[in-house]
C-alpha cells in the first residue's frame, strides 16, 4: 500500500508510522552518544557551551565553518557507545526499563534477570516465540490482529487458534466473545498473544477483560504475551493497565514493548521483553544468536526517553486525540462507520455505506481510494485469518501530522 501510495501520490494512511520527528531530547541523546563515544565526552557535550567546547576559537571563523567540521572536532577519543555492548541490553537501559515499569505500573522487573533489549517489538516477539514455544504448539491469536502475529507463528511452525473481537454497533466498542476464548483455551495452548491498546480496532482491554484473560491463563496454564507498544496512546479517560501487575500473573506474563510509537522512532529499532527469569534466559539466547543486540547509541538514547517527564505522554495523547477526531469526522462525512478508538492510532472503519466503494472487496475499495481519492489505507481482511468479518473494513492510520490528515480529509470529501 505504501508503494502504491507513492506511485499515485496518495496521502499514505496505510502503515503505522508518523511523519513528525522524535522529541528532540531523544535525538540529542543519540547524537551525543554517537559523537561523544564514551560517558565522559557525552556528558561534556551535553553540559558545555560551544565556547567551552572550542576554546580559543575566533567566533566569526567558527560561524563560517561547516557544521560537520565543528562537530568533527568534538568527537571523543575513546569509544564505548558505538560498539558491541551486552547482547541483552545496556545496563543503564535495562535499569531505566525497570524504573519506568515501576513508575507507570507499580511493579518492578529485575533488570539483571528479567529484561532483554531487542530490535523493536517485532524482534522481541520473534525471540519470545522462538525461545518459549516448540513447533506444533498452539498460540491463541485474537483477530483482527497485527500482521506479524500469524506470520511469526508460521515461521516457528506454531498453530494459531483465532478468536474474534466483535464490534458493537451501538457505540460500545469491541468485545471479546468469552465463550469462544474459553473454548480456545480449553483446547490447550502454549500462549495467548494479547495486544492492548489494540491495533487495528483501538480497543483498550478493560480491567474486567484482563481479569477474564488472567483467569483463563491460570486455569489452562497459558503464557500471555502482551504487546503494549501503544501503552501511552489512550483517549477519553481510558487507561492502559498492565496485565503483569495482576495478582499471580507475573510468572506467566511476557511483556513486549518498544520506543517505536511513543518515541516517534519506528526506524530506530529499540524495544524490549520483560519475562520471568526462567524464560528470559532462553529468550536472550535466541536474541543473541539471531541479532546480537540493538544499536548501542540508540539504546543509550532510549534511556533518556524512558526518563522524560510524563508530561511528554500527556502531550502525545492530546495531539493524537485531535488527529483522531479530525480523521474520524472526515471518514464519517464520507459515509464510513467508525467506533471511536479508545487507544492506539488507527481508525478501523466500515466502508459499506460509502457509495463509491461500498460494493467492492476490501482490496478493490482500497485501490479505488488510492487511485481516485488519493488516500491510502489497508484492506480490513488483511487483519483476519478466518471468517468474513474483515470484509467490511478499511484501516486508516492517524499518526501523521495534522496538515497531512487535513489534506486526507479534503481528499476524502471528494468521495
Ligand atoms: C501492535 C504492534 N506491535 C508491534 C509493532 C511493531 O513494533 P516495532 O516497531 O517496535 O517492531 C507494531 C507496528 O505497527 C504494532 O502495531
Are residues 384 and 293 both part of a single domain? no
The Cα-based distances of 238 to 102, 260, 289, 319, 329 in angstroms read 20, 21, 39, 16, 20
Are residues 403 and 294 both part of a single domain? no
Task: Report yes or no: 51 and 42 within 8 Å, Cβ to Cβ.
Answer: no
Please report, for the domain that includes residue 325, its CATH number: 3.90.1150.10
Q: For residue range 95-130, list pLDDT tens digits in order.
A: 999 999 999 999 999 999 999 999 999 999 999 999
Task: Report yes or no: 221 and 132 within 8 Å, Cβ to Cβ.
Answer: no
Q: How high is the mean pLDDT of the chain?
A: 96
Pocket perturbation via mutation, ligand 1, pick of 97, 259, 261, 347 by most ligand atoms within 8 A of CB: 261
Are residues 302 and 316 both part of a single domain? no
Question: Which of ligand 1's atoms lies nearest the C-alpha of 120?
Answer: 10
- Report if residue 276 sits inside a domain: yes
CB-ligand 1 contact for 121 (6 Å cutoff): yes
Q: 39-47 and 24-36 helices cross at what angle (nearest 10)?
A: 130
In terms of residue numbers, what domain contains 342?
2-19+312-413
Are residues 338 and 384 both part of a single domain? yes
Q: For residue range 46-71, list pLDDT tens digits in order.
A: 999 999 999 999 999 999 999 999 99
Minimal-distance CA residue to ligand 1 atom 14: 16
What are the beta bridge partners of residue 143? 164
Are residues 158 and 295 both part of a single domain? yes
CB-ligand 1 contact for 199 (6 Å cutoff): yes
Instruction: Tell which of 244, 276, 307 closes a domain.
Output: 307
Instruction: Tell which of 249, 273, 307 closes a domain.
Output: 307
The Cα 95–Cα 101 span in angstroms is: 10
Instruction: Tell which of 290, 307, 324 closes a domain.
Output: 307
Q: For residue range 250-307, list pLDDT tens digits in order.
A: 999 999 999 999 999 999 999 999 999 999 999 999 999 999 999 999 999 999 999 9
The Cα 329–Cα 185 span in angstroms is: 39
- Report if residue 214 sits inside a domain: yes
Going from the Cα of 281 to the center of ligand 1, the distance in angstroms, rounded, reads 23
Q: Which residues contact 107 (CB under 8 A, 6 or more apart)?
A: 101, 242, 244, 245, 250
- pLDDT given for residue 138 in this prediction: 98
Are residues 286 and 377 both part of a single domain? no
CB-ligand 1 contact for 120 (6 Å cutoff): yes
Confidence band for 187, pLDDT divided at 50, 70 and 90: very high
**What is the radius of gyration, based on Cα positions, of the chain?**
23
Question: How far, rounded to the nearest angstrom, does the alpha carbon of residue 290 sit from its chain's CA centroid?
Answer: 21
Length of the chain counted residue by residue: 415
Are residues 128 and 254 both part of a single domain? yes
Question: Which of ligand 1's atoms lies nearest the C-alpha of 257?
Answer: 10
- Report if residue 84 sits inside a domain: no
Pocket perturbation via mutation, ligand 1, pick of 13, 15, 116, 199 by most ligand atoms within 8 A of CB: 199
- pLDDT given for residue 4 in this prediction: 94
- End-to-end, the C-alpha distance of the chain in Å comes to 19
The Cα 237–Cα 297 span in angstroms is: 36
Confidence band for 247, pLDDT divided at 50, 70 and 90: confident
- Report if residue 32 sits inside a domain: no
Are residues 405 and 272 both part of a single domain? no
Task: Please count the structural domains in the chain.
Answer: 3
Place of cell 473481537: 165
**CB count in 10 Å sphere of residue 237:** 6
Are residues 63 and 106 both part of a single domain? no
Minimal-distance CA residue to ligand 1 atom 16: 199
Does position 415 have pLDDT exceeding 90, yes or no?
no
Going from the Cα of 280 to the center of ligand 1, the distance in angstroms, rounded, reads 21
Please report, for the domain that includes residue 190, its CATH number: 3.40.640.10
Going from the Cα of 52 to the center of ligand 1, the distance in angstroms, rounded, reads 42
Are residues 349 and 241 both part of a single domain? no
The Cα 137–Cα 21 span in angstroms is: 41
CB-ligand 1 contact for 266 (6 Å cutoff): yes
CB-ligand 1 contact for 202 (6 Å cutoff): no
CB-ligand 1 contact for 113 (6 Å cutoff): no
Are residues 126 and 230 both part of a single domain? yes
Write out the three cell numbers for 64: 563560517
Amino acid at each position: 500500500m505504501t508503494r502504491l501510495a507513492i506511485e499515485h501520490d496518495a496521502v499514505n494512511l496505510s502503515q503505522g508510522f508518523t511523519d513528525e520527528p522524535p522529541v528532540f531530547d531523544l535525538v540529542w541523546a543519540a547524537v551525543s552518544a554517537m559523537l561523544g563515544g564514551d560517558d565522559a565526552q557525552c556528558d561534556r557535550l551535553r553540559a558545555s557551551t560551544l565556547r567551552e567546547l572550542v576554546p580559543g576559537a575566533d567566533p566569526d571563523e567558527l560561524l563560517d565553518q561547516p557544521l560537520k567540521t565543528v562537530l568533527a572536532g568534538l568527537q571523543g577519543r575513546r569509544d564505548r557507545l558505538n560498539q558491541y555492548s551486552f547482547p541483552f541490553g545496556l545496563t543503564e537501559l535495562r535499569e531505566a526499563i525497570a524504573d519506568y515499569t515501576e513508575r507507570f505500573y507499580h511493579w518492578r522487573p529485575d533488570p539483571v534477570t528479567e529484561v532483554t533489549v531487542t530490535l523493536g517489538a517485532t524482534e522481541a516477539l520473534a525471540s519470545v516465540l522462538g525461545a518459549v514455544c516448540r513447533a506444533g504448539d498452539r498460540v491463541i491469536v485474537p483477530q483482527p490482529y497485527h500482521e506479524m502475529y500469524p506470520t511469526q507463528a508460521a515461521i516457528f511452525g506454531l498453530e494459531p487458534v483465532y478468536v474474534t473481537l466483535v464490534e458493537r454497533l451501538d457505540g460500545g466498542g469491541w468485545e471479546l466473545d468469552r465463550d469462544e476464548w474459553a473454548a480456545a483455551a480449553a483446547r490447550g495452548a502454549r500462549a495467548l498473544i494479547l495486544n492492548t491498546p489494540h491495533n487495528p480496532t483501538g480497543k483498550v482491554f478493560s480491567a474486567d477483560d484482563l481479569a477474564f484473560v488472567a483467569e483463563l491463563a491460570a486455569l489452562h496454564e497459558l503464557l500471555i504475551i502482551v504487546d503494549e507498544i501503544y501503552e501511552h496512546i489512550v483517549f477519553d479517560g481510558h487507561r492502559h493497565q498492565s496485565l503483569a501487575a495482576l495478582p499471580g500473573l507475573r510468572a506467566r506474563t511476557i511483556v513486549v514493548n518498544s520506543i517505536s510509537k511513543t518515541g516517534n522512532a519506528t526506524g530506530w529499532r529499540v524495544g524490549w521483553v520483560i519475562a520471568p527469569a526462567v524464560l528470559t534466559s532462553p529468550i536472550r539466547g535466541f536474541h543473541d544468536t539471531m541479532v546480537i543486540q540493538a544499536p548501542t547509541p540508540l539504546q543509550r538514547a532510549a534511556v533518556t526517553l524512558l526518563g522524560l517527564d510524563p508530561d511528554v505522554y500527556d502531550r502525545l495523547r492530546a495531539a493524537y486525540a485531535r488527529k483522531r477526531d479530525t480523521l474520524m469526522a472526515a471518514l464519517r462525512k464520507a459515509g464510513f462507520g467508525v467506533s471511536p478508538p479508545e487507544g492506539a492510532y488507527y481508525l478501523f472503519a466500515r466502508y459499506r455505506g460509502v457509495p463509491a466503494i461500498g460494493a467492492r472487496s476490501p482490496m478493490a475499495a482500497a485501490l479505488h481510494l488510492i487511485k481516485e481519492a488519493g488516500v491510502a489505507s489497508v484492506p480490513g481482511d488483511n487483519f483476519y485469518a478466518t471468517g468474513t468479518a474483515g470484509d467490511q473494513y478499511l484501516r486508516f492510520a492517524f499518526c501523521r501530522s495534522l496538515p497531512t490528515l487535513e489534506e486526507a480529509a479534503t481528499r476524502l470529501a471528494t468521495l
